[in-house]
Structure 1
């Protein structure tokens, strides 16, 4: 009798395992980030910094245009050595303006990343908590087209694929 019950349980076990629900979910992190209250303050900070850079570059351009205009007006009467010095000075100003523009872009990107990092971590933490609390195996991020949550119960098949491809 005991053997029959044990055999019945062993036969029914695979069916009960297959009946387990695999929960997958998806989110749009861009939508969530756009709704975060910190976003407004961060965007204002970035906008203010961008305005400062634009003001600095505009000042440099005004100086450049003034020098160029002066050079064009007086070049006919300038000795050759002064012409070359002015041309060199104007070329250096062009390079400085270009470099300043690149530095501004880099600075704005870095500042944006620095300011958004805590907000992104806050969102990731919430996603991980939702995934764990609700038994999700994976949560996909439609905004970033990636997996943003992976359950510890998920299976990594990398080793099996390596074996199949005879890789070490």
Structure 2
């Protein structure tokens, strides 16, 4: 019985010593990525892409508004058949603009992911290298909203990781070119005969 008690005490002592031998560190991963030079390049490209999309949508919306105003002025001179056709054309144009706007938002989010992925991979590699060199067993992300509620007795290694990033080759942001541009909707609405021959699914792909 005494031998079992001593053995249990030794195991507990070894386990406790092993736990204390572990080194813990933390850093704000979001802040780390935002300080990288490539992050500024990514943001500039995203802003340029967003501005181009907004300008195109504004142009289409202005065109739709002009067509609607013209319809209101000339509606009294239309036959009922022509009037209904004009209304349908305006509705279809509005629907296409809405779909174009939604596709642009999806493409914008996709492009942002494409641009940020190599940055996060590079940051992760730098963290691993710093942790290996300095013997850290765990490195926690202290960014807000990542689920880490409390941390004690750890070292903030963001300065070490930043220094490690400086020694790594820069990312060629131009090499990552995604095909994220949505096809601009055609402002010319097809004639009624063509509308009957073209299904909505096929028309959307144009």
TM-score normalised to the size of structure 1?
0.74
Q: Distance in 2 between matches of 1:54 and 1:17?
A: 60
1:63 paired residue number: 63
Higher relative contact order (CA 8 A, sep 6+): 2
2:101 paired residue number: 101
What value does the CA root-mean-square deviation take over the aligned residues? 2.3
1:139 aligns with 2:132: no
1:80 paired residue number: 80
Gap runs ≥5 in structure 1 = 1-7, 148-168
Matches within 5 A, 1:1-168: 14-20=12-18, 21=20, 22-143=22-143, 145=146
Q: Distance in 1 between matches of 2:51 and 2:16?
A: 60
Judge which range, 138-147 or 77-86, deviates more.
Answer: 138-147
Q: CA deviation at 1:63?
A: 0.8
Q: 1:11 to 1:89 in 2, by over 3 A?
A: closer
Q: Distance in 1 between matches of 2:61 and 2:35?
A: 38
Q: CA deviation at 1:11?
A: 7.0
Judge which range, 125-134 or 110-119, deviates more.
Answer: 125-134
The structure number with the bigger radius of gyration is 1
Provide the secondary structure at the position in 2 that maps to 1:19.
Answer: helix
Gap runs ≥5 in structure 2 = 1-5, 149-206
Q: Distance in 2 between matches of 1:27 and 1:70?
A: 60
Q: Distance in 1 between matches of 2:9 and 2:56?
A: 77
Matched positions, count: 140
Q: Distance in 1 between matches of 2:130 and 2:117?
A: 20
Provide the secondary structure at the position in 1 that maps to 2:26.
Answer: strand
TM-score normalised to the size of structure 2?
0.61
Q: CA deviation at 1:13?
A: 6.5
Q: 1:78 to 1:137 in 2, by over 3 A?
A: same
